[in-house]
Structure 1
């Protein structure tokens, strides 16, 4: 009898080991299958991104996410602080190769911002100087883009149309988005298409990940990022849409810069 009980116990233990082994094997096979699916998905996503980059041009004006006016004609009499720069452009050393923080207020929406003076010294110096002089307060955010490939709002237009300022421009392009990718929260400088020395005081804020293809001059200078308030920007301004229900145009909710402090 004792031998029979022992034999039964051994059979039960053997069945349990077999069950555990079978379970582990099933998990292993499922893991392998999942990895294969993930690899296929990764390849598919890569192809989709390539396709988006190839077609993203459709939402831009011919000048890209910069000024819709033709490139300004610079006069030789204009003051130049650096080769190719025009007007009272501050020395790039002003950025001090350090991180700057501050607040940018659009209407009543307060955005925390961070500027990278090491990555884009000339562009950051321009923003620091312009903010300190009070240039930005009262200027408008004249343009918003909302498509499957990008979401951004462009600000700093003195006349409200987005026209470029022939008395202020600089270059070259600094710290452009890698592969044309500008993640949500990016702050970058607007410029005229195909002109690396047409950066000005206007900038755009990316509120949804954006694919912005390079033009013949390159990409767009990334100066920093929004560190807080992006959700409020979306709900209080972006959610209002674009005039005429367009994908690219003036925001329905009239927007201006009511404050900009950097330190």
Structure 2
């Protein structure tokens, strides 16, 4: 017959096992791609707020700075020897996308066309979600490789049916989306690790700020690691200028405010987690006139 001491030992052992499991899940999240450039919780994955610093991004709080950054999965050691993406070349009018060697889950829709055009200077991206439309004015003139990639992914239905997997808080006010494999249920440790199988350089970084209304791309800590994940900012985030600001939200901030108010499921320890109010992307279209 079990004694009181036996029961205490069992409870202590179970508590220790739960702690180790949570620690393992945190470490896995920190390696995922989240929103901003750090290797932390899911991006997107972000660390504290950057006061910052930086999946999703930055700061000085509690959990580690890395935890609150919008990041994507961190690259593996093999990435160092891999081909590096190249920025827009005005002489040839092309962008250099390369295969992503970081690992992670891939929804393969092919590589974007290398040739891009700087006109029109802006394009309109409409995210049709179960919560309503979120509309973004994309800065094609300053981030042509990124906009070209988004157009490619939208045209291939890459984002259709995907769920935004990471929501911040007042300290890290952003919603991270773009992982086509994310469950967004607060239980999937792999959320934030999915992508298109290719990466590109970061653009439009000079003087970049991440204030309410900005749409920016998530990445890992490594330069040239931007993929498909992005974050929508509904407050001001003190991130370092390392994440491509690709556009400005012109409609749908009220949706983000509503989702933020509902809170998160499964707080990862840095104040971010899957949104309780699910945001599922039904369709993405991009249009623009020369």
TM-score by length of 2: 0.61
Deviation at 1:133, TM superposition (A): 1.4
Structure 1 segments, 4+ long, off by >6 Å, are: 77-81
Query: CA offset at residue 223 of structure 1?
Result: 0.7
| Count of matched residue pairs | 203
**Given that residues 155 and 256 in structure 1 are in contact (C-alpha distance below 8 angstroms), is that contact kept between their aligned partners in structure 2?**
no
Measured after TM superposition, the shift of residue 151 of structure 1 is 0.4
Question: Are residue 223 (structure 1) and residue 246 (structure 2) matched?
Answer: yes
Q: Does 1:65 align with 2:94?
A: no
Question: 1:22 corresponds to which residue?
Answer: none
Q: Does structure 1 residue 208 correspond to structure 2 residue 235?
A: yes
Aligned to 2:114: 91
- 2:264–2:274: 8 Å Cα contact kept in structure 1? yes
Tell me if structure 2 keeps the 8 A contact 1:164–1:200: no
- Does the alignment pair 1:248 with 2:278? no
Q: Is the 8 A contact 2:165 2:274 kept in 1?
A: yes
CA distance 1:253–1:63, shift in 2 (3 Å)? closer
Rounded Cα–Cα distance in structure 2 between residues aligned with 1:93 and 1:79:
15
Asked whether the equivalents of residues 128 and 284 of structure 2 are also in contact (C-alpha less than 8 Å), the reply is: yes
Query: How much has 1:76 moved relative to structure 2?
Result: 5.8
Map 1:30-109 onto structure 2 (within 5 A): 52-53=51-52, 56-58=59-61, 60-61=65-66, 64-67=69-72, 69-72=73-76, 73-74=78-79, 85-86=98-99, 88-91=111-114, 93-94=116-117, 96=119, 98-109=121-132
CA drift of 1:213 comes to 2.7
Q: Which has the higher helix share?
A: 1
CA distance, structure 2, for counterparts of residue 252 and residue 225 of structure 1: 25
What residue number does 1:123 align with?
146
Q: Distance in 1 between matches of 2:118 and 2:209?
A: 25
Note the C-alpha offset of 1:62.
5.2
Shift of 1:71: 1.3
Distance 2:280 2:178 in 1: 8
Distance 1:106 1:198, change over 3 A: same
Cα offset for 1:185?
0.9
| Greater C-alpha radius of gyration | 1
Partner of 1:159: 181
Alpha-carbon separation, structure 2, partners of 1:146 and 1:177: 26
Structure 2 vs 1, CA of residues 57 and 92 (structure 1 numbering), >3 Å: closer, same or farther? farther
Cα separation, 2, equivalents of 1:61 and 1:70: 12
Which residue of 1 is the match for residue 219 of structure 2?
Answer: 191
Please name the residue that 1:11 is paired with. Answer: none
- Gaps (5+ residues) in structure 2? 1-49, 87-93, 100-109, 183-190
Structure 2 counterpart SS, 1:231: helix
Q: Alpha carbons of 1:248 and 1:63: their partners in 2 closer, same or farther (altered >3 Å)?
A: closer
